Structure 1
Amino acid sequence: MWRKSSFSDLNGNCVEVREDLSALRDSKHPDVHLPVTRAALAALLKGVTTTNG
C-alpha cells in the first residue's frame, strides 16, 4: 500500500512511499516508481524528519 504524508498540501502535491517495495513515487505520476534500498529510504526519512536547532 502506498502511503502519503499527513503533511501533504491540499492540492495533493506529495511523495508517496511503499515500504514493501522499498520505492518512492510522485503522487501526480503514480505509474513511475523510484526503487530505493531500505537503508536509503530510512536515511531519507530520518533526514526529512530531523530538525536543525
Structure 2
Amino acid sequence: MMAKLFRQLLSGQEGTTAIEYGLVAALVAVAILGTLSTFGEKLSQTMAAMHEQWSQQSE
C-alpha cells in the first residue's frame, strides 16, 4: 500500500511538487533550529551575566 502511494506521488506532477515543498520545509526547519540554538546560547550567557551583576549589587 505504501509502495503504491510512493509510486503515485513520484509519477505525477503533484507528487513531485509535494516532495519539493517537503524538502524546502525541512531545510527551513533546519535553518530555524540552527539560528535559535546559536541565539539561545548567547541569550543564556547574557542573562547569566545580568543575574550575576544584579546579585553583586544587592550584597
> TM above 0.5, one fold?
no
The structure whose residues are more often strand, as a share, is 1
**Quick check: which has more Rg, 1 or 2?**
2
What's the TM-score, normalizing by structure 1? 0.30
What's the TM-score, normalizing by structure 2? 0.27
